[in-house]
Amino acid sequence: MKAAIFPGQGSQYVSMGSKLLENNPDNRKYMDIANAILGFDLADVMINGNVDDLKETKVTQPAVFLYSIIQYYNNSGSDDFGCYAGHSLGEITALVASDCLTLEDGLSLVSKRAGAMQLACEEQKSTMAAVLGLEDEQVERICNEIDDVVVAANYNCPGQVVISGSITGIEKAMEACKAAEARRVLPLLVGGAFHSPLMESAKESLSKAIAQLSFKVPRGPIFQNVDALATTDPELIKQKLIAQLTSPVRWTQTMINMHQYGVKHFTEFGAKVLSGFVKRYDRSLPTEQYK
């Protein structure tokens, strides 16, 4: 069984739109749809924007979503994917790829999600950091002992956890992780504490946006970030999508559960991010990337 997987924020790169047009000039039609829904020229940023232009959350998320879904439309062909999953933002891409959401509704939702997260970032300065070389339980214990907001936010693969929280909380947790002999502790260049309690206001906004959209039964199960379990019930998908903003991305458990479900091949549509996580989980599993 094949699984289609989609990366999240952080997988963007300069001139990503140019590559889409070089591969297939007809991809301009998807860019035009995005521009009309978003109310700004996303295509221009994806083609001509610099690193700073692409870093702003309200631009980054639609850009990554559009890039990944176009790669899916261009390259999925006759492949029969047995299930779908995406990392954070990529979960919405998975919903569109599986026909749970239309492209237009997916773009609208990504835009509102990004805007709400941007506002939450502006309400309180916050950040994230990657911790390499510690067990998940060690990172969780360190976060729990910090007297400030800091949580394990992304369980990316065995030995890699991203923490999220206030500036002070992250600084304290980074020092504690180094003291616990983490192999590396890296601050991330992000504008806020995604997948932490500091995204509560964004969750409220996202809930209202989701309530206005029509979710259909997907063509295959969606393994969602919140609990790493397969879901096909549209109402349950909505609930988990809302909860995702303040809950950790359980990608390690997602890979394990998909493998146990029968997935023998992972195809990533977007930058080579999740394929690397799959290889760190089980190097023998075949992966494929369209980027």
- Strand 150-157 and strand 160-166: the pairing is antiparallel
Separation CA 35–CA 274 (nearest Å): 27
d(CA 35, CA 44): 9
Tokens 């991809």 -> residue: 27
> Which is the catalytic residue, given 11, 68, 87, 88?
88
87 catalytic per annotation? no
In contact, 266 and 275? CB cutoff 8 Å:
yes
Q: Is residue 195 annotated as a catalytic residue, yes or no?
A: yes
Nearest-angstrom CA–CA distance, 213 and 105: 7
Give the whole-angstrom CA distance, residue 51 versus residue 74.
Answer: 26
Task: List the catalytic residue out of 108, 195, 196, 275.
Answer: 195
Residues catalogued as catalytic: 88, 195
